[in-house]
Structure 1
Amino acid sequence: MDRKEAIEGADFVITQVRVGGIDARIRDEKIPLKYDVIRQETTGPGGFAKAQRTIPVILDICKDIEKYAPDAWLINFTNPSGVITETVLKYTKIKAIGVCNVPIGMVYGIANLMGVDPKRIYIRFTGLNHLVWGTNVYLDGEDITEKLIGMYESARSLSMKNIPELPWDPEFIKSLGMYPCPYHRYYYLTDQMLKEQKEEAATVGTRGEVVKKLEKELFDLYKDPNLDVKPPQLEKRGGAHYSDVACSLISSIYNDKKDIHVVNVRNNGTIADLPDDVVIETNAVVDKNGAHPITIGHVSPKIRGLMQVVKAYEELTIEAGVRGDYYAALQALTIHPLVPSATIAKKILDDIIEQNKEYLPQYK
């Protein structure tokens, strides 16, 4: 089916694309490691590279949506979800909402830690995609944030399949006073995570290389028409609960449910410390008119600075990806907390552009 046929007359369009395939992901991981910088496909230099490849493609898809299904909702899965969703909202006329499985994974993780049904857990989320904090956690409407913080010594399991399960320091979590997402390990435990990543790369390979092997095994299994069980290899992949998140969100829009989802949506004053036109990840009431974020106001200085600098990185990443602006790209990487210096940022950027030339028409 071609794109026009797929889009024409649609009420909802779901995007989940990986420009360059898994081999591009592997390159994204190896470039930063060469300079002793965290490698991750959605965060830091890896996320930057993925965004640069994806932005031209997503904007091209949006042109077809504007032409063939102008009233459709775009539900974006494509990572980095916040960056891609913000690009769509800033540079097209499309109605777009970004989704991620991290928030629902955090809900399930806490429910598992406490031995309760996930439906009894509600988390107040504040932040950005892959940089979101649970500022308050509720069980049956009761705020249990302090109790949960006291349980963090046993919280090693609150990670994800694609993120090393390094334990949190209980004193650090107590000082933070809120629930970090798994991706915060890259920011708060940078030295330990980098050491872990370098050891993994030298033994089993980067995460992308591991995934490439898993995918080959899975596709070989799927050739068997008699396969009637979930392959164990799937348990080693990330991406759990994505289908639940997307289907539930679509149902809420279509049926005007007015229930609460955690989505990537335009800020519009929700977080007072960020510009109105940027995308944030937070709780929102969803009805037939879209997602309406629940007001947060000013955030704690414990998280404000990190959130603001990563958002500035995202804004510059979008500018670079749309315009092919080398200087915006250089500044984006330079200010990212995981990149140690402008010198390293430039070396990484030049490698990214050189190794992705066929996917970066905006830089020609």
Structure 2
Amino acid sequence: MSFKVAFMGAGSIGFTRGLLRDLLAVKEFRDIDVSFTDINDKNLDMVTQLCQRDIEANGLDITIEATTNRRQALQGAKYIFNVVRIGGLEAFQTDIEIPLKYGVDQCVGDTLSAGGIMYGQRGIAEVLDICKDIREVAHDDCLLLNYANPMAMMMWACNKYGRVNTIGLCHGVQNGHKQIAEVFGLEKEDVDIVCAGINHQTWYIKINHQGKDLTGGLLEAFENHPEYSRTEKVRIDMLRRFGYYSTESNGHLSEYVPWYRKRTKEIKEWIDLGSWINGETGGYLRVCTEGRNWFETDFPNWLKEPAFEYKPENRGEEHGSYIVEGLETGRLYRGHFNTVNSGIISNLPDDAIIEAPGYVDRNGINMPKVGDLPLGCAAVCNVSISVQRLSVEAAVNGDDKLLRQAMMMDPLVGAVCNPKEIWQMVDEMLVAGEDWLPQYTEAIEQAKYRLRTDELLPVKDYNGAARLKVKTVEEMAENREKASRNAGEADKSKDRPAGKV
């Protein structure tokens, strides 16, 4: 088989190298065309060198087309992987640190809350330009496989305004599935699940083992688990009060709802510092920064290490390669995908982006109807969907009034800040993001004026309830294997030792 696959934001070592390994482990795909594109030519060159070395070590006759010219990379592409982070870690830092001044303490800040909303404003502005290029130069029947966050907002923009067939992919369901099997002392493959909701707020509404429903015993199993009873306190509390386990980690989930991070003194009661994903303030920013610094410094050593082996048993759990395999070969694949609802989950809005079970084969990606979510779970999702809808419309239209309303409606921001604080925080975030927010030129000038001339509200000198410092390269070198694993993984939560707050 011969077709073209393009990677947008290919300088992201964690996703690009692993996804390419997964694709080229499919025997029918040994002749495909591969293009990489990124605005950072240094990172693009390093990742290309590493992946080309892998390809040659596996005896394949594929030469990666690496270019900073996006349209060239997209020319004729049938499958496009989007792994971009608009603004990079520089913008990500403002997503975390400006809200901290107003008491908004985030662990991740890439999906909802103040950071996720602003991340969406940057990403949507760029992804709509990407969609325009896709419509003009890519394969007529191309599929955009989106890994970029905030998943639901990006997907909403691509499908409604970008007019490009887009499917959203995330590894959250797989991770929670493993945990559920573990607390029952079972293997993952022996536990069947149905998970439905919205990305990062998806609920395991059915859990079966050999025909037996395990849902009723899940709370007790998690409460008695020696590690998860300490590291997943937010998820367990949500399970206790809503009756169903949520896909997202303790740190992620804690910032999507108004109850666990609104009072500084209480945050530590709900988190664990054994791993950033358990709730560390700005934890994802820290590990991403460490990963970038390590890869850039240690890159020459990566070229000396054994190449990835393109074997079926070495494939990861990311859905992307399996979807392409199903569409091209007809082999059936079942996963959980993000798509426009259109009645799949009957008590969430039809135009929202939902995450639910799907099946892939040569006939396409098919999403069976789930029906109603449990009422409480649907209520949690619907709050987030309102924020997503406002955020998408704000980003598409450059409407800072809608942006401010999205911030007001956000569960954590609304729990911590009053309206005047939200208005000032948005002004600061708009100005800080000026280089990546072309749709807000007028609003940014007005925000600059207010910040310069108005009597400003006092802000906090606050570094978060549980923030750890970024490790130096020298400190990371003390455990080179761990540092390299962090830099090279798309899922940076795989190493999750329990610890103490």
TM-score by length of 1: 0.86
Q: For 1:138-287, what aligned pairs fall within 5 Å after superposition? A: 138-154=208-224, 165-168=231-234, 173-181=239-247, 182=249, 183-186=252-255, 187=257, 188-191=259-262, 195-196=267-268, 206-207=282-283, 208-224=285-301, 225-228=303-306, 244-287=318-361
* Structure-2 residue corresponding to 1:355: 432
Cα 1:102–1:64, aligned 2, differ >3 Å: closer, same or farther?
same
Match for residue 3 of structure 1 among 70, 87, 101: 70
Please state how far the C-alpha of 1:250 moved relative to its aligned partner: 1.9
Moved over 6 A (4+): 197-201
Q: What amino acid is aligned across from residue 221 of structure 1 in structure 2?
A: D
* Structure-2 residue corresponding to 1:301: 375
Q: Contact 2:183–2:222 at 8 Å: present in 1 too?
A: no
Cα distance per residue 1:188-212 (max 9 Å; x no partner): 53347873499989xx973213431
Cα distance per residue 1:51-96 (max 9 Å; x no partner): 1011111111111111112311000000011110111000122111
Instruction: Say which SS state the counterpart of residue 411 (structure 2) adopts.
Output: coil
Cα 1:74–1:243, aligned 2, differ >3 Å: closer, same or farther?
farther
Q: Contact 1:155–1:168 at 8 Å: present in 2 too?
A: no
Q: Contact 1:260–1:285 at 8 Å: present in 2 too?
A: yes
TM-score by length of 2: 0.64
* Structure-1 residue corresponding to 2:194: 124
CA distance in 1, matches of 2:271, 2:100: 7
* Structure-2 residue corresponding to 1:237: none
CA distance in 2, matches of 1:158, 1:288: 40
Q: Where do 5+ consecutive residues of structure 1 fail to align?
A: 231-240
Match for residue 41 of structure 1 among 81, 105, 110: 110
Cα 1:258–1:24, aligned 2, differ >3 Å: closer, same or farther?
same
Q: What amino acid is aligned across from residue 363 of structure 1 in structure 2?
A: Y
Specify the structure having the higher radius of gyration (Cα). Answer: 2
Instruction: Select between 139-148 and 325-334 the one with higher mean Cα deviation.
Output: 139-148
Q: What amino acid is aligned across from residue 181 of structure 2 in structure 1?
A: A
* Structure-1 residue corresponding to 2:120: 51
Q: What amino acid is aligned across from residue 41 of structure 1 in structure 2?
A: D
Instruction: Say which SS state the counterpart of residue 174 (structure 2) adopts.
Output: helix
* Structure-2 residue corresponding to 1:81: 151
CA distance in 2, matches of 1:301, 1:55: 31
Q: What amino acid is aligned across from residue 137 of structure 2 in structure 1?
A: Y
When the two chains are superposed, the root-mean-square deviation of aligned CA atoms in Å is 2.9
* Structure-1 residue corresponding to 2:3: none
CA distance in 2, matches of 1:129, 1:170: 19
Please state how far the C-alpha of 1:156 moved relative to its aligned partner: 7.3
CA distance in 1, matches of 2:381, 2:422: 20
* Structure-2 residue corresponding to 1:235: none
Please state how far the C-alpha of 1:127 moved relative to its aligned partner: 1.1
Q: For 1:315-326, what aligned pairs fall within 5 Å after superposition? A: 315-326=389-400
Cα distance per residue 1:8-31 (max 9 Å; x no partner): 222210000011111211110112
Q: Contact 1:156–1:167 at 8 Å: present in 2 too?
A: no
Instruction: Say which SS state the counterpart of residue 180 (structure 1) adopts.
Output: coil
Please state how far the C-alpha of 1:154 moved relative to its aligned partner: 4.2
CA distance in 2, matches of 1:135, 1:13: 32
Please state how far the C-alpha of 1:123 moved relative to its aligned partner: 2.0
Q: What amino acid is aligned across from residue 177 of structure 1 in structure 2?
A: G
Cα 1:99–1:171, aligned 2, differ >3 Å: closer, same or farther?
closer
Q: What amino acid is aligned across from residue 227 of structure 1 in structure 2?
A: E
Cα 1:8–1:336, aligned 2, differ >3 Å: closer, same or farther?
same
Q: Contact 1:150–1:174 at 8 Å: present in 2 too?
A: no
CA distance in 2, matches of 1:56, 1:100: 22
Q: Where do 5+ consecutive residues of structure 2 fail to align?
A: 1-66, 309-314, 442-501
Query: How many residues are paired up?
Result: 348
Instruction: Say which SS state the counterpart of residue 412 (structure 2) adopts.
Output: coil
